[in-house]
Amino acid sequence: MLAMNYRGPKRVRVSEKPEPALKHPEDAIVRVTRSCICGSDLHLYNGNVPDTRVGMTFGHEFTGVVVEVGSDVTKVKVGDHVLVPFNVACGRCVFCKQGMFGNCHESNPEATAVGAIFGYSHTAGGHDGGQAEYARVPYANVGPTVIPEGMDPDDAVLLTDVVPTGYQAAEMGGIQPGDTVVVFGAGPVGIMAARCSWLFGAGRVIIIDKEDYRLEFAKNYAHCEAYNFEKDMDDPVLFIKKITDWLGADVCIDAVGAEAAGNALQTITGRKLLLQAGSATALHWAINAVKKGGVVSIVGVYGPTDNLVPMGNAMNKGLTIRGNQTSVKRLLPRLIEHVQNGVLNPKALITHRIPLEDIADGYRLFSAKLDNCIKPLLIMPNSGR
């Protein structure tokens, strides 16, 4: 089969790899019908996540048709068209039973924090992902969810990560009616977090980025205020304080993570020298720009384990800080309903359709923010789209 093949930082290509096989009675094999490149994949692509091994196939956002199932699989059958949450979760450990599918203890037992994630380095379990013609899906009685009849597969593939992650970012913010919410990062997840903030009753939503095309897209899609931190302000924290009666935002969401721009020290130590687990610039801004007693919600990805973070400010301000990998399975029923009812329109985020064979060009385009790219969708060979 054709599959994305990681060859080292900023080096990916498509090559022939063996088709995956069942390894456990609870496995399923799916023929991939949709797959995306995620902003989190760029952290791998740029070499910011430890133990990303040469030869790995990325891709944690995919849908597919079930072509083979293990002897213990009862929840899906051959021929089902399923969306596959990015979490690899057993459904029976202590954390899965709490709905914390992003922290499954069985799928990634050597990790003390995160559960397993498809296509996301060996720190997240070493499972190959869905940027390929076929993918092996462990725990097929838990994760894979049959796509409802009539749902556009382009909507379904974004329910594997972008929509639930944006929604959980807003949910973790504990947004109260009338709250001012500031989202750092106007990538797909940040845009979705801004859009979902309204669902929780926000009275004002602001998004901050440095790319004008992303900010314009966010204004139109999420109906929010949008500001360029390089052009519209000297200091993002001071700017936010000024426009919130000098109190700060009620909720700040970090939807950037390890590759945030905007601070030379953070960039050098976190992105260039890798002396910390990514540049924590957006997290600094969030902690310092939120009001006393406010909430900081973190969905931006940082590599393990250390970061330069102003914890003294967080403690002295009485902040609540929440973050996690999204528990997709917990949120799917509600989000499927929102898509079916037209409350959310995920597929509008897709701006580029790239053949799997051209995945190296897709990564370069997305990483360099070329051609006004918001969200790239990979076209599988012989898919007809």
In a domain, 58, yes or no: yes
Whether the bond between 74 and the residue before it is cis, its omega within 30 degrees of 0, is no
240 and 134, same structural domain? no
Does 220 lie in the same domain as 347?
Answer: no
Same domain, 346 and 310: no
Which of these three, 288, 304, 323, is where a domain ends? 323
Residue 89 lies in a domain: yes
Q: How would DSSP label each residue in 4-43?
A: EEEEETTEEEEEE-PPP---STT-EEEEEEEEE--HHHHH
- CATH number of the domain enclosing 106: 3.90.180.10
pLDDT the model gives residue 273? 65
> Which residues touch 357 (CB under 8 Å, ≥6 apart)?
2, 14, 381
pLDDT at 362: 97
323, 341, 367 - which closes a domain? 323
pLDDT in tens, 214-259: 999 999 999 999 999 999 999 999 999 999 999 999 999 999 987 7
CA 261 – CA 94 distance, rounded (Å) = 38
Task: Scan for tokens 């106007």, then name that residue.
Answer: 186
Domain annotation covers residue 385:
no
Same domain flag for 114 and 220: no
176 and 318 assigned to the same domain: yes
Question: What one-letter code names the amino acid at 79?
Answer: G
What is the model's pLDDT at position 136? Answer: 98
- Confirm if 123 and 51 have CB atoms less than 8 A apart: yes
State whether 318 and 332 are in the same domain: no
On whether residue 172 sits in a domain, the answer given is yes
CB 184 within 8 Å of CB 255: yes
Amino acid 93 reads: C
Same domain as 236, residue 173: yes
pLDDT per position as a tens digit, 112-137: 888 999 999 998 999 999 999 999 99
Query: Is residue 129 domain-shared with residue 237, that is, in the same domain?
Result: no
CA-atom Rg of the chain in angstroms: 20
Question: What's residue 383's pLDDT?
Answer: 59
**Residue 29 sits in which domain range?**
2-161+327-379
Confidence (pTM): 0.94
Q: Is residue 231 part of a domain?
A: yes
Asked whether residue 384 is assigned to any structural domain, the reply reads: no
Q: What CA–CA distance (Å, rounded) separates 63 from 153?
A: 8
User: How many Å apart are CA 285 and CA 183, to the nearest integer?
Assistant: 10
Of the chain, the end-to-end C-alpha distance in Å amounts to 19
Low-confidence ranges of the chain (pLDDT < 70): 273, 275, 304-305, 382-385
Q: In this structure, how many other beta carbons lie within 10 angstroms of the beta carbon of residue 316?
A: 10
Element (DSSP H or E) covering residue 251: strand 249-254
- The H or E element spanning position 207 is strand 204-209
- Within this chain, do residues 319 and 341 fall inside the same structural domain, yes or no? no
What is the 8-class DSSP label of residue 113? Answer: S
Whether the Cβ atoms of residue 200 and residue 297 lie closer than 8 Å to each other = no
Q: How many CA atoms lie within 13 A of 75 on its CB side?
A: 17
Has residue 82 been placed in a domain?
yes
Tell me how far apart the alpha carbons of residues 227 and 376 are, in angstroms, rounded to a whole number: 24
Are 62 and 118 members of one domain?
yes
10 Å CB burial of residue 182 (0-12, 13-18, 19+) is buried
Number of domains observed in the structure of the chain: 2
Instruction: Decide: residue 177, CB within 10 A, 0-12 exposed, 13-18 middle, 19+ buried.
Output: exposed
Does residue 32 sit in the same domain as residue 80? Answer: yes
Residues 182 and 227 in one domain: yes
Give domain status of residue 191, yes or no.
Answer: yes
Can you give the CATH number for the domain in which 239 is found? 3.40.50.720
DSSP conformation letters of 281-297: HHHHHHHHHEEEEEEEE
**3-class DSSP state of 120:** coil
